[in-house]
Amino acid sequence: MVLKLENIKKKLNSFIFFLILILVLYLLANFIYLIWYIANPEGFWGFSYFRELLMVAVFAIILIFFVSLLITIVVSTFYKIIIGKSNFKELFKLLGIVLAVVLLSGFNYFYAGGFSLYLSKKLSDKYSYLQKTEEFLKEGNLVKAFDYAKTSYEKEVNRNEPSNYLFMAKLYSQTDFDKKQRLLNKYAVLINYAYCLNIDPKFNNISESKFNEALELTKSNLLDSERKNLAIFPTLSLAEINLSRGNYLKAEKYYNELYSLNKSLENEDIFYFINCNLLIADYALRIGDINQAMKLQSENLKYYENSKLSKTSTNYLNLLLLTATSELYFQNYEKVAELLLKAIPLAEDRKEKAIYSDFLIVKANYCLTSGFNSRGNELILEKKWWSKLKESFSEKADVNTDLLKEAEKCLVELVQKSKENAGENSFEYAKNLNRLGNYYSSIGKNDLAYKVLNQALSILKPNKEKNKELYYNLLLSSVFVSFDKQNTKSALNEIELYYYNNLLDNFLFLSEDEKVFFSLNMEKKFEIINSIYLSNIEEKSGEKLYDNVLALKNVALYSNQNIRNYLNNINPILRKKYQKLLFEKEQLLYNNSKETELLLNKKQRDLIVEINSQEQFKILNPKSISWKNIRDYLRDDEVAIEIINVPENIKGKNDRRYYALIINKLCKSPKIVSLFKESELLKVLDKNGQTKERIEKLYQNESVELYQLVWKKIEDETLNKKNVFLSVSGTLHTISFPALLNSKKVNLTYLGSTKDLLKNENQISNKNKISIFGDIEYGKLNETNTSKLRYTNSNFQMLPYSKKEVNQIKEKFEKKNLKEILMFTKNTATESNFRNINSTKTDIIHVATHGFYNKYGRNLGNLNDNTIENDLLKTGLVFANANKHLIDKKNDGIISSFEIAQMDLSGVDLVVLSACETGLGNIKGNEGVFGLQRAFKLAGVKSMIVSLWQVPDKSTSELMVHFYEFYLDGFSKKEALKKAQNIIKEKYKSPFYWAGFVLLE
């Protein structure tokens, strides 16, 4: 019996032992899996990190055990000392043991295990799939990069939750700390996988979805402290995706989010700041705001160079190349060469990296353009020693020829690299073929260009919807060098449809200024299209050309006018919002805040989107009027003429050729007449002497030369025509056609576009109310306050004849018993009184004062320096006390065209600017003259009389009085001005006195 009990006891002990052993092993397995779960090892160094983490964890447990044991011994020893059962010798011995253990443990951890753990963690991060993906991308190895990214994504997405049996890991997985780590891991693989997908346009939609998924992850409460940091990359990428698609409305949403993120992180991380600026610059480039883009690129480089960041890094090289690209646009060749010389050694060390391709692109562009313009730096050329030796024994080659050869060399190398790294069916390869093809086109090798461009097209065509902008730009380049006329016609129709749809889509949300930039950018595409029509003139060529001119001429101006007209006539609620916005926009003149400017742009875009969504609002369709509508409007004795200009583009020379497109009532299609080159016109206009002397040379003594160049070739089309409707372009905006056609019987009407004929058809001229400004007291010049001048040459003298002018005009209106005459003279002729003119209070505004046109925007001292780039700040009118430089910014006596453009003058029928150079301004392509005439058109004025040069006081006064005399007697504005000019012409033979004023309708 006893034996049996002992056997049972032994078996029970064995069972308990094995049970404890299993429990210990179970706990040990749980513990090891917990460490594995935390480490989440990936690759060799990931496993090393797990091993080190396990060792540290085991050591920590052992250390805790020994520390607990030692604490128990110490407490026990102290207790014995207190009750007198021990001595201090035992205590010191014990303390020595404790100290030795602690020192050895600390040494082991910090100098062995701790350092090893840190190193393993770093190596695990660096060589994980996520980081390795980036390394492959930098090397240009897209296939391996994609495989790594996909593998790491699938591993993380398919990661299982710990089993309930592995309770330690299960409990740990339910902590906020682990949930946060898993979110961060998932975020990392998402953005990395999305980034790789985005390289190939076929996967754009999937890439966008993954970036949105990553952005959603950042909204978790667990990531509060990291949210702004994490949101940057996916937001940048989503904006970039939509920009590449041309979806500016959607990109705008991310663009605004980026700015707020950028603002909060500007001082925390220079890379975030630079990346945000780069995307904003890209956005500016796409809408055509090159000045803003260049400013941002230069700003980025300055930020980087002023930081302590490495000046030998890839990031620095990238910024050098971006800035060089911006400077190249403005033909600052010396600056570009300086930047490239810094970049060359950095690029040469990275020949296997993707950045080297960017370097080749910038270098090729520099060599090409500087070679064409004879502005290149020979130091940029790479010459081997044997080439230099050969040159020493032969005649030195032309530097420009060498630069063009170097450009070709760079582009050929670029194409080869992209083919090797990305594959012959890749988007990258097609892009670089496009660059090479355009190079061959620019040097006249059209057969080579056509071959290369069509190869690129065949790659892009199957997936053209993924990147329409590049596809259609490439198609246009191909058509330009094509010899296949039949295919050219169908391709041009497709290209035009895309560009017009793109214009309409973007005009739905762009601000007023952005529309200008965008239309000028679009104009460059249509200049190529129009050049193709002009190089293959057929019956339909004139129709296509005229329709394109009608669609694009002043399209931004007309779009902005369309919105303002809707607000003024139909929607008073939105009108108030818009007027408030215009007022805030004007305050930017005196505010250096970039934040305010971006905020106002966003508010304006949001408002434009709201306006476009209104049921009653009719979106301006630039294609709604065709040349046939103009022909049908004309009478038998009338002719309409559009004068256009397109680039000559002969071996890169910057010259333009002017053409006349002519319509009469009986024509089957518009007639095309080649006129002259711009260089020829500039040569004729280049006359020495004061204004009077130059005008007389041009329009009197040597007038035959100008007439033969500008008008002779279209003279026959205007013979026996009662009315000639003329819309000009380019430098012709500065020509006085009344003076040019002085000896001819041509009844000429100036128009911004001949489609204005249809708009003006039902307009009625009102003459009931007039506001008159003249005989102005400008005040004495304050010598001590010149630093605060808005226009430093503002020692404005009184105009003695303006007193007689305004008084006689007033008398003539009084004789007609008109309802209301508002007279502002002396110190009452203030800027504030001019601003207070309400559109419902006056039909005519007459201003007899000084006008100014400052071509380069200098000497506007009170204004924010950044705004000098705005062309509407370079022209304006002068009012009372202008010489006193009053502190009140809105009543300092000088009002710029920018400020006038913010006014509401939609009820004003006629503005007469009896002042100098009021018809001048910087000329910007199809949008015309940016000066007072554009400002008043934006403000809503129907027609205006402006001057083309510095007009004399006395004759101007007499001319104006005669004009109103005829106008009030029932003659049209055009007839009244012509009759007034004929009277002055009899008294003053020189065209200087009478021909400077033109009527714009």
Whole-prediction pTM value? 0.72
* Surface-to-core class of residue 761, CB atoms within 10 Å of its CB (0-12 exposed, 13-18 middle, 19+ buried): exposed
Q: What pairing do the DSSP bridges indicate for beta strands 851-853 and 875-878?
A: antiparallel
pLDDT tens digit sequence for 276-332: 677 777 777 666 677 777 777 777 888 788 777 788 888 888 889 888 888 888 788
Helix runs in 877-931, H state only: 897-901
The CATH architecture that domain 627-758 belongs to is: 2-Layer Sandwich (3.30)
Contacts of residues 70-78 at CB distance under 8 Å and 24 or more positions apart, as own/partner, are 70/97, 70/98, 70/101, 74/98
User: Strands of 851-853's sheet, edge to edge?
Assistant: 851-853, 875-878, 894-896
For the chain, which residues make up each domain, given as ranges?
A: 627-758, 763-1000
User: How many angstroms separate the CA atoms of 515 and 924, rounded?
Assistant: 13
Total residues found in the chain within this entry: 1001
User: How many angstroms separate the CA atoms of 392 and 369, rounded?
Assistant: 27
* pLDDT at res. 660: 95
The CATH architecture that domain 763-1000 belongs to is: 3-Layer(aba) Sandwich (3.40)
User: How many angstroms separate the CA atoms of 518 and 563, rounded?
Assistant: 17
* pLDDT at res. 627: 94
* pLDDT at res. 828: 92
* pLDDT at res. 662: 96
User: Which among 574, 632, 570, 565 has a CA at the least distance from the CA of 942?
Assistant: 565
Q: Tell me the sheet residues that pair with 826.
A: 776
Encoded tokens for 347: 């690029």
* pLDDT at res. 886: 53
Do 927 and 554 meet the contact criterion of CB atoms below 8 Å apart? yes
pLDDT tens digit sequence for 605-650: 788 888 888 888 888 888 999 999 999 999 999 999 999 999 886 4
* pLDDT at res. 232: 77
Q: Which amino acid type is present at position 178?
A: D
Name the CA dihedral angle for 263, 266, 269, 271, rounded to a multiple of 10 degrees: 90
Name the CA dihedral angle for 356, 358, 362, 368, rounded to a multiple of 10 degrees: 80
* pLDDT at res. 708: 92
* pLDDT at res. 98: 61
Ranges under pLDDT 50 in the chain: 41-50, 53, 107-130, 266-268, 384-393, 650-651, 784-792, 858-868, 887
What does residue 674 show for φ and ψ, rounded to 5 degrees?
Answer: -75, 130
Question: Which residues does 144 contact at the CB level (< 8 Å), separation at least 6?
Answer: 136
Do 864 and 591 meet the contact criterion of CB atoms below 8 Å apart? yes
Which residue has 């021990």 as its token pair?
86
